[in-house]
Amino acid sequence: MPALVRGSHMCQGALSMAANLECPKCGSELDVTGRGPGAIIRCACGNLSAVPKRSYWASPRGVALALGVFLLCPCVGILAAIAIPNYNKLPVRSKQQECKANLRGLYAAQRNHNAEHGTFEPRIVNAGFIPERGNRYAYFTGTGPLVTRDAEGDAVPADAGGIGVDRSRDASRRAITLADLPAWVSRQVGVFGTCPDCYVTMGCAGNIDIDDTVDVWLISTKPLKDEYGEAVPPGTPTNVVNDVDG
């Protein structure tokens, strides 16, 4: 019992201190029980004191806000760790659009050529589609010589099997040939089989970031497999060597 009594007195003392205010002039304790923040109290010495306002962070709303910020910070860090790398890849992914658009153009040209002549064409000039200047990717329709674009106005020979990277505007761009592709990729490029049961597979390759890996895409008039071994229907560009996520 004595211990309980002492504990009770200690709690009452703490409450009493919490409910009192010291006069800054004479040091006397002023009872602020029942008075709200900002209320004026006159001390016996004549000094006027105001009940201090409660700190915002000590209020229930402040505590809830602080707790929310504390819990939110790790989530923000996790989201940033996910979002920043993906954001940095956006400029590189935009360069891939050039390759996919031109491969679709080559595919459409080959389909038209086949409808008219009953065969596919490994020579890019005869295929009826030439990628515009400024290309960051090299394009391959067969194993013939690759046309370089190291200067403005370079001619395209009739037997050309592809178009090289346009380096006339930016000499720092890496020149790429069919030999720079993995062997299992390069041997798929060209016209195969006896028409009408023939097919053509075309490709593009470019070094679109700061490493040495070449980004490679294929498109074909027959089903292909992507980098994960999944089937890809004819006429769909597929990324077989990924230079963005690798």
> Residue 35: which pLDDT band, with cuts at 50, 70 and 90?
confident
Residue 53 pLDDT greater than 80, yes or no: no
For residues 43-57, give the mean pLDDT.
72
Residue 183 domain flag: yes
For residues 180-195, give the mean pLDDT.
95
Residue 215 domain flag: yes
> Residue 157: which pLDDT band, with cuts at 50, 70 and 90?
confident
For residues 33-59, give the mean pLDDT.
73
What pLDDT shows up at residue 135? 94
What pLDDT shows up at residue 32? 73
Residue 87 pLDDT greater than 60, yes or no: no
Residue 45 burial (10 A CB sphere; 0-12, 13-18, 19+): exposed
Residue 137 domain flag: yes
Classify strands 162-166 and 146-149 as parallel, antiparallel or unpaired. parallel
What pLDDT shows up at residue 73? 65
Per cent of the chain over pLDDT 70 is 78
Residue 186 pLDDT greater than 60, yes or no: yes
Domain of 221 in residue numbering reads as 97-241
Residue 82 domain flag: no
Higher per-residue confidence, 142 vs 211:
142
Residue 206 domain flag: yes
> Residue 169: which pLDDT band, with cuts at 50, 70 and 90?
confident
Looking at the 3D structure of the chain, how many domains does it have?
Answer: 1
Residue 69 domain flag: no
What pLDDT shows up at residue 200? 98
**Range picked from 32-46, 96-110, 161-175, 205-219 for highest mean pLDDT:** 96-110
Residue 127 domain flag: yes
Residue 52 domain flag: no
DSSP string, 85-133: HHHHHHHHHHHHHHHHHHHHHHHHHHHHHHHHHSS--SSHHHHT--PPT
State the chain's mean pLDDT as an integer.
Answer: 81
For residues 108-119, give the mean pLDDT.
96
* Distance (Å, whole) CA 62 – CA 54: 11
For residues 37-42, give the mean pLDDT.
77
> Residue 198: which pLDDT band, with cuts at 50, 70 and 90?
very high
* Distance (Å, whole) CA 103 – CA 234: 12
Higher per-residue confidence, 135 vs 38:
135
